Structure formats: C-alpha cells, structure tokens
C-alpha cells in the first residue's frame, strides 16, 4: 500500500482530502433526525427555521467541524510524540496528556465553577502542559536519561494518577457527574461552534508549526547523536515539539474531552501509506485523523440508535485491537 | 604540521566521574588519527566531546583555531561530520534517503535542494559503491553495507573532517578492511582529516598516520605508530604483555600478545610465560 513517488503521494493526499470532505457532508446529513443534502444546502442558503434546518446549522455542522479539527490535531500530536520519544506506542493518550488536561477541566468545573470558554481552554492547556512536563521529567531522571520505556511507564503512571483524581472529584460531586461524564468519555457532540473557534488559533499554530518543523523531524528521527552531528539544534526542536503537542492535544481536549487512540492509530496507518518522511506524514496524518474521527462519530450515532455512544468509546473499539497489534509487533522494532 | 582540531585544558566528566582531565591535544590536518586505549579509558568520550555531542566540564575544543562553543552547530556541521557508534536508522529509511540527510547542514529555508546537493549525494553513493543498493531500506542491509551507507551520509555532508566512533565494531574481517580502505582512500585522494576510535591495534598501526594513546584521563603517547607502539607502551596502556614485531606486508608495527594458547613451536614454555 506504500506510495513511493511524490506524485503518487500527492494523489493519495488529495484523495484523502476528498474523502474527508465527503465524510463532513455525510456527518451533516446522517443521524437520528432524517435530513438530506437538499435540506443541508437550504439550511445555509434559505433557512426557514424548521427543526431540520436548526439541527443542521446548530448541531450537525459544529459536530462535523469539531470532529475534523480534533481528529487532525490528535493524529498530528501522535506523530510528533512518536518521533520525539522514539516509541511506536506513544500518543497524547498514553503519555497522560489527555488525562492531565481532562483533570484540569474537571477541577475547573467542580472546584472553581468555571464555565467560561476562555477559562476552560486555559485550564485544559495548563493540564496538558503539567502532564507533559511531568512525564518528561519523570522519564528523564535516573540512569540512562530519557528512554522510551521509562517515558511510557511515566506516562502510564501519570495517566492513571490524573484519572483517579478526576474520578475522586466526581465521587465527591455527584451532582456534576452527569454533566462531566459525557465530556470525559470524549465526545464531539453537544459542543458549540464558539468553543472550537476559541481554540482554533492555538490549534492553527500547532498545525502550521508541525508542518514547518517536519523536515527537521526527519533529522531528529535519525537519533540524537546523528542529528546533532548534522547540525540540528536538538534541544530547541524537542522543546518546539513539546509545545506543539501541548497546543494540539490541549486544544483538542478543551473542545472534545479526552479522545484516545486517534493519536496512536493514525500515525501508523499514515506511515504505511506515505512512508516515513515527515513532510508527507504530518499533512497526511492530519487528514486521516479527521477521516477516522468523522467516521467514528457517524458510526457512534447508529450503534445504539436512538441513543448515542460517545465517540471516545468508538475510537477505543477501533483502537484497542490495533494497539495490541502494535505492541505484539515488538517494542524494539523501531 | 597544520592543526585541524585542538583541545585546550579539556576536562570531561560523566556525572561525578572525571573521564578526561585537562587535556591539551593537537590533531593534524589531512591525516588519519586513531585513538587507542583500554575499554573505558575515555577515548569514545573524547571523540564525542570533540564532536560537540558531549559538553565538556571545562576547557575548550578549537576547530581551525575557533572554539566550537562559539560556533553555531550548523557551521560546525559544514566542517566536521561525526558517525556515532552503532547508529540506527528509522525503520524503512532507504539508503538514498539516509545519504540525502547528509546535506542537511547545507540547506536553508530558501535553498532546499540544489544540483550541488544531488551531485554530492551521487558522489557519496559512488565512493561507497552503494549505487545499486540505493533504494533498499537500510535495515535490510548486511552489517558492512549498512556501515557503508552511514559513511556515505557523512561523505555527503562534504566536510573536511570526519570523526568515527568505532566504525568497524561488529563487522567481520573482510568488512573491517573494506571500511578502513574506504576511509584511507578518502584521506589519500581528498585530503580529508579522519579521526577515529579503533579497537584493533594492528589495524590502527596500519592505517593511522598519527596514534593517540589514552590512559589515566590523559594522552600518554602520540605520534606515528612506528615511533610510538612498543611493548612498554602496550603494557602501560592495555596492561598486556606482548611482542611488537614488523607487519610482513606493510612494515608497520604488529603487536602479538602473550598469554595462553595452543603453541606448536618448541619454545612453548617461553610463550606461555
């Protein structure tokens, strides 16, 4: 399935973009309320205030956009983390970043009763940053410096800690449980477009920055010593990657809650299609991440109709077997 | 003698342990210099420090008279290439992709890939005889081919100085000679300064113009192998009794260790000590 030449890769990327756009349309049209393409077009050009038009404009469209943006961001964050840590199992979820951001948001709701979008965002980013830095520091102490194994253990420990804290807070505040639980499972529905708009600048910087450093990531992937020898400022590039991951993962969690598995599954699929050059992997992972989350979200509407499964549960259903497959393939394969 | 690399009162430590202490070393331009010494004497550490992979505790490394701590890492990469010990390429990286990375220090935001880059990459593939293997993934190659691919990357970097940390480790004898011949040719034909760590003393004597023996956190001898290598130096550096004779093919020093073994000469008792 590996596309070898640049023109094939470009064709692949364009095909993926078209598929993404089709799925965005599907996400607007399909669901519990029966609608069709003509209604969707009317909703934007000739809105008559009908139930269907309101649902399309206020519910379905934000949902499609959020699924695309969050899917793309988590997938790119996964690529960045896997290269940074040289660990094929790394992702914002596994390394505790989602859990950290999730905990911060739950603290914001339960302890400080914050419900402004800005406050929500700031805390999600703060939580992501605290988790990322703690995992990095804990993974670096001791003999041998930062190894993939230590980093993964530190991430698993931090993720477990933040999840326990989150659960503890919810037990103490069971009135808020319902409000927070759906968010915690990871969902792209029931969010307002404003939430997305408010984090879009950060996520946009995350996307652009990732594309800009993609060439340097190819050098970093050759190993620390070789990269330094080739004149790459590895200290700077690692910090840049860390900041980009925090922007992308923190922004995603603020909008959609902690959605797992997109960040780990998509980078592997992407590399099997376009190879290992990050100048292709990053844009392709973004588009494929959007596709995966859009598809998972559409499927989540039909799985237990009329009620909906949180999309985070859908990605877990897809992602868990894949995770086991990667783990079995060998930790040392890379 | 023109100086290529110089260290001034260089001290290097690993955590609390001092590895190299106040070392003043001059490495001549256009020659092959080989660091020798017992395991753990700090020869690799010294090479890594010269290559700026390791920050020294104190003192400085000068490249063409300028302190490397004052130069940008990309500037250094245009003058000096380093091949670390047993590097690993990302899974699926092809030989051509690997060699192309060697052009990284010569690229900028504005100038991404030029004809000169293309030419240097082709030259490097040719010099290492990897043209036919250039589309193969590095991880599918044999040990010797893989090492040649990495050397091709450092050649594409087109630097005057090439540092190599144990480039022949894990290779069989044929491939050890192949790699060292390649580096020797590079030095002969292109006047590159080659600095490397080698474990095999006899190969070091054969290929090096300049031997640097390291012991007790400092250099204990430096010079042409035929002037430097003798039984007392080997005893001092490696703590090993040996006989030093002349290589029958090259005339360079040949070190034959004493010890146990299956001696079929009459003087068996003498050899076994």
Domain CATH number, residue B152: 3.40.50.300
Tokens of A56: 């399309």
Strand B210-215: give its sheet, edge to edge: B80-83, B161-165, B193-197, B32-36, B210-215, B218-223
- Residues A267-296: tens digit of each pLDDT: 999 998 999 999 999 999 999 999 999 999
Residue written as token pair 């599907």 = A26
* Cβ distance of A231 and B77 shorter than 8 Å: yes
| Residue to substitute from B14, B82, B101, interface A, most A β-carbons within 10 A | B101
How much is the pLDDT for A333? 43
User: Domain residues for A311?
Assistant: 74-329
Q: Is a pLDDT exceeding 80 seen at residue A83? A: yes
Question: What is the pLDDT, as a whole number, of residue A185?
Answer: 75
**Would you place residue B267 in the very low, low, confident or very high pLDDT band (cuts 50, 70, 90)?**
low
The minimal CB distance from A228 to the residues B52, B72, B90 is found for B52
What's A276's domain CATH number? 1.10.3470.10
- pTM summary value: 0.88
The tokens of B108 are what?
Answer: 């900028």
Round to the nearest angstrom and report the end-to-end CA distance of chain B: 42
Mean pLDDT of A248-260: 86
Domain that holds residue B24: 3-238
Flag if A226 and B84 touch (Cβ within 8 Å). Answer: yes
Q: How far is B42 from chain A (nearest CA, A)?
A: 17
| pLDDT digit string, tens, across residues A204-245 | 999 999 999 999 999 999 988 999 999 999 888 988 998 899
A28 in any annotated domain: no
How many domains does chain A fold into? Answer: 1
Which has more pLDDT, B183 or A174?
B183
Shortest Cα distance, chain A CAs vs residue B142, angstroms: 17
Residue A95 belongs to some domain of the structure: yes
Give tens-digit pLDDT for B84-116: 998 988 888 999 999 999 999 998 877 778 889
Residue of A nearest to B51 (CA): A229
Please state, in angstroms and rounded to a whole number, the distance separating the CA atoms of residues A105 and A292.
Answer: 25
Residue whose C-alpha is closest to residue A267's, from A246, A293, A285: A285
Q: Is the pLDDT of residue A45 over 90?
A: no
- The domain total for chain B is 1
Residue B271 lies in a domain: no
In a domain, B148, yes or no: yes
Task: Give the best-scoring range by mean pLDDT among A129-143, A295-309, B187-201, B255-269.
Answer: B187-201
- Give me chain A's average pLDDT, please: 85
Specify if A17 maps to a domain: no
Q: Which residue of A229, A230, A233 is the best one to mutate when testing the B interface, meaning the one whose CB has the most B CBs within 10 A? A: A229
Over residues A136-157, the mean pLDDT reads 79
Q: Give the pLDDT score at B8.
A: 93
State pLDDT tens for residues B150-162: 999 999 999 999 9
Strand partners, B222: B212
Residue A334, SS3?
Answer: coil
Cβ distance of B92 and A277 shorter than 8 Å = no
Q: Is the pLDDT of residue B217 over 70?
A: yes
Q: Do A229 and B104 touch (CB under 8 A)?
A: no
- Using pLDDT thresholds of 50, 70 and 90, give the confidence band for residue A144: low
| In the predicted structure, residue B263 carries a pLDDT above the cut 90 | no
Q: Do the Cβ atoms of B101 and B51 come closer than 8 Å? A: no
How does residue B272 score in pLDDT terms, banded at 50, 70 and 90?
A: low
Mean pLDDT across chain B: 91
**Residue A331 — very low, low, confident or very high, per pLDDT cuts 50/70/90?**
very low
Q: What percent of chain B has pLDDT over 70?
A: 97
Any domain includes A18: no
CA angle B160, B164, B167 (to 5 degrees): 135
B68 CB-near residues (< 8 Å, 6+ apart) = B52, B60, B61, B62, B76
Asked if residue B231 belongs to a domain, the reply is yes
Q: For residue A34, what pLDDT band results from cuts at 50, 70 and 90?
A: confident
Model confidence pLDDT, tens digit, residues B52-73:
999 899 999 999 889 999 999 9
Is residue B200 domain-resident? yes
Confidence (pLDDT) at A30: 84
In A4-147, where does DSSP find H-type helix?
A: 6-29, 37-45, 51-54, 61-85, 97-110, 117-140
How much is the pLDDT for A1? 64
User: Does some domain include residue A47?
Assistant: no
d(CA B169, CA B44): 13
């Amino acid at each position: 399935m590996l596309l070898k030449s640049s023109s094939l890769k470009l064709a692949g990327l364009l095909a993926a973009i078209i598929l993404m756009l089709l799925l965005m349309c599907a996400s607007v049209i399909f669901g519990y309320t029966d609608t069709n393409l003509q209604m969707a077009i009317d909703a934007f050009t000739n809105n008559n205030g009908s139930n269907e038009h309101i649902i399309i404009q206020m519910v379905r469209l934000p949902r499609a956009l959020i699924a695309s943006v969050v899917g793309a961001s988590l997938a790119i964050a996964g690529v960045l983390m896997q290269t940074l840590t040289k660990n094929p199992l790394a992702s914002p979820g596994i390394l505790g970043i989602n859990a950290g951001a999730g905990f911060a948001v739950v603290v914001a709701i339960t302890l400080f009763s914050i419900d402004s979008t800005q406050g929500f965002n700031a805390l999600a980013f703060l939580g992501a940053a605290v988790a990322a830095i703690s995992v990095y520091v804990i993974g670096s102490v001791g003999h041998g410096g930062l190894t993939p194994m230590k980093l993964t253990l530190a991430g698993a420990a931090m993720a477990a800690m933040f999840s326990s804290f989150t659960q503890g807070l919810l037990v103490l505040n069971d009135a808020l449980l319902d409000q927070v639980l759906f968010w915690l499972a990871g969902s792209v529905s029931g969010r307002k477009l404003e939430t997305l708009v408010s984090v879009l600048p950060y996520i946009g910087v995350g996307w652009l920055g990732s594309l800009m450093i993609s060439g340097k990531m190819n050098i970093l992937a050759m190993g620390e010593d070789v990269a330094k020898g080739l004149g790459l400022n590895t200290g700077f590039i690692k910090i840049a990657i860390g900041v980009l991951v925090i922007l992308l993962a923190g922004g995603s969690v603020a909008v959609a809650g902690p959605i797992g598995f997109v960040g780990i599954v998509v980078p592997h699929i992407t590399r099997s299609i376009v190879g290992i050059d990050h100048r292709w992997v990053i844009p392709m992972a973004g588009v494929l991440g959007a596709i995966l989350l859009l598809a998972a979200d559409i499927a989540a509407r039909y799985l237990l109709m009329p009620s909906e499964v949180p999309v985070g549960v859908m990605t877990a259903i897809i992602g868990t077997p894949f995770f086991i497959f990667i783990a079995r393939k060998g930790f040392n394969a890379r | 003698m023109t100086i290529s690399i110089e260290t001034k009162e260089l001290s290097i430590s690993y955590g609390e342990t001092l590895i190299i202490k106040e070392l003043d070393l001059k490495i001549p331009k256009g020659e092959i210099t080989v660091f020798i010494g017992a395991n753990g004497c700090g020869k690799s550490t010294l090479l890594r420090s010269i290559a700026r992979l390791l920050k020294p505790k104190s003192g400085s490394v000068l490249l063409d008279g300028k302190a490397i701590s004052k130069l940008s890492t990309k500037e250094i990469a245009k003058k000096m290439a380093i091949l670390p010990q047993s590097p690993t390429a990302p899974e699926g990286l092809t030989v051509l992709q690997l060699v192309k990375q060697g052009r990284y220090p010569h690229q900028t935001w504005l100038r991404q890939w030029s004809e000169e880059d293309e030419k240097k990459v082709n030259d490097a593939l040719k010099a290492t005889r990897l043209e036919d293997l250039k589309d193969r993934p590095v991880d599918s190659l044999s040990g010797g081919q893989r090492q040649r691919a990495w050397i091709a990357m450092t050649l594409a970097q087109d630097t005057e100085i090439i540092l190599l940390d144990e480039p022949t480790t894990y290779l069989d004898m044929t491939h050890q000679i192949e790699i060292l011949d390649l580096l020797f040719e590079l030095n002969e034909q292109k006047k590159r300064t080659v600095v490397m760590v080698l474990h095999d003393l006899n190969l070091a004597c054969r290929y090096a113009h300049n031997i640097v023996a390291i012991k007790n956190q400092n250099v204990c001898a430096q010079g042409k192998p035929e002037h430097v290598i003798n039984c007392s130096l080997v005893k001092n550096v490696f703590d090993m009794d040996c006989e030093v004779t002349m290589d029958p093919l090259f005339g360079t020093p040949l070190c034959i260790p004493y010890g146990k073994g299956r001696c079929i000469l009459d003087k068996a008792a003498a050899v076994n000590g």
